[in-house]
Amino acid sequence: MRDLSTIKHTIEDNRFSIHYINSIGYMRGPHAHPYYEMFYVMEGERIFFLNETVYSLQKGDMILINPNDPHRSTYSEALKCDRILVNFTEDFIQSEVARADVRLLPLDRPSRLFRFSVNEQATVEELLQRMLYECQDQEEGCSAYVRASLVQLLVLMYRHERKPNQHLTHSAHPMHQKVSEIAAYVTEHYAAGLTLNEIAKRFYISPSYLSRIFRSITGFHFKEYVQLVRIREAKRLLRETSLPIGSIGETTGFGHTANFNVTFKKITGSTPGHYRKSMR
């Protein structure tokens, strides 16, 4: 097998990129991006926080992340993790998936974990390596070759997801499970007046320890995460309903419209009114 470069390779003005990473102890803060991401573990282990869940990724695991979903990865006790990251915009692959006889994109389910069997891992890694080598060499037909390989990978993931008995374990670490439970509780009760002290009491943790461990695992301060969940729901209501902006602010847990407007602009860079207009 050829050596895999650690350089990030892009084609078509960054509409597709692929990056092999071999690092120890690397940690990235919470972030989101307007394109899809595939995070595949070649060797080692990685901790991932995504959609209210803490995952412990090992060899053969892949996280598929929808556009604009906040996420964060960090190293585990194993420290070392060889991984391949694939980023692509929906329009890069749109015409190819439109011809497919099954729905590959847009995804109708949240970002999620795929835990491939040993046989599936061999196929996944071959497809990833094909795309990496094509982007390295940039020969004629490179984009077509990469699209074809990406479609094959999406079909494989589609089939994998529909196999019976796909029981996925997230993370065996008890504190990871506790943080996942707390994040899920925030998502379900975002409209209530959630405070750090209240949640700490409910989950039998001291407020100071909860604050520290929540920030360590998710990358978010607790209050920051609550605001993020509320704004995510507010964006959905602005897109999909005609509710007044003040009502949306109250519905999503903001006591005053002014507070809602300030927080919305701080997180999204736009006012609620401008966001609604841009989505319509």
Q: Which domains, from first to last, does the chain contain?
A: 9-161 (2.60.120.280), 175-279 (1.10.10.60)
Write out the H or E segment, with its range, that includes residue 225. Answer: helix 222-240
Query: Mean pLDDT in the chain?
Result: 88
3-state class (DSSP) for residue 76: coil
Burial 154-182 (b: 16+ CB within 10 A, else e): bebbeebeeeeeeeeeebeeeebebbbeb
Written as one letter, the residue type at 22 is N
Task: Decide: 135 and 11 in contact? Cβ < 8 Å.
Answer: yes
Burial of 230 (0-12, 13-18, 19+ CB in 10 A): buried
3-state class (DSSP) for residue 174: helix
| Position with higher pLDDT, 109 vs 181 | 181
Cα–Cα distance measured from residue 245 to residue 234, given in angstroms and rounded to the nearest whole number: 9
**217-241 average pLDDT score:** 91
Nearest 10 degrees: Cα torsion 245, 249, 252, 255: -160
Predicted pLDDT of residue 219: 83
DSSP letter (8 states) at residue 4: P
Ranked by mean pLDDT, the top range of 51-55, 74-78, 88-92 is 88-92
Sole residue written with tokens 């007044």: 244
Predicted pLDDT of residue 27: 63
Share of the chain above pLDDT 90, in %: 61
Query: CB-based contacts of 278: which residues, under 8 Å, 6+ apart?
Result: 270
Tokens of 102: 């099954």
For 85-99, 145-159, 162-176, 259-273, which range has the lowest pLDDT when averaged over its residues?
A: 162-176
Query: In this predicted model, what pLDDT tens digit does every residue of 125-181 receive, in sequence order?
Result: 999 999 999 999 999 999 999 999 999 999 999 999 888 755 555 555 778 889 989
Tokens of 108: 């109708």
Omega cis (within 30) before 67: no
Cα–Cα distance measured from residue 196 to residue 207, given in angstroms and rounded to the nearest whole number: 6
Helix axis angle for 118-137 and 142-161, nearest 10°, is: 160
Query: In this predicted model, what pLDDT tens digit does every residue of 15-69 receive, in sequence order?
Result: 999 999 887 766 667 888 889 999 999 999 888 898 888 888 999 999 999 988 8
Predicted pLDDT of residue 4: 52
Predicted pLDDT of residue 25: 62
Q: Considering only CA atoms, which of 165, 169, 195 is closest in space to residue 182?
A: 195
pLDDT above 80 for 13: yes
Predicted pLDDT of residue 2: 52
Task: Decide: 80 and 86 in contact? Cβ < 8 Å.
Answer: no
CA-CA distances (angstroms) from residue 279 to 36, 49, 224, 237, 243? 19, 28, 25, 11, 15
Predicted pLDDT of residue 264: 93
pLDDT above 50 for 1: no
pLDDT above 60 for 233: yes
Which residues are bridge partners to 54 per DSSP?
A: 49
| Position with higher pLDDT, 221 vs 170 | 221
Write out the H or E segment, with its range, that includes residue 44. Answer: strand 36-50
Q: Considering only CA atoms, which of 137, 148, 157 is closest in space to residue 92?
A: 148
**102-121 average pLDDT score:** 84
Cα–Cα distance measured from residue 166 to residue 58, given in angstroms and rounded to the nearest whole number: 16
Tokens of 84: 């391949």
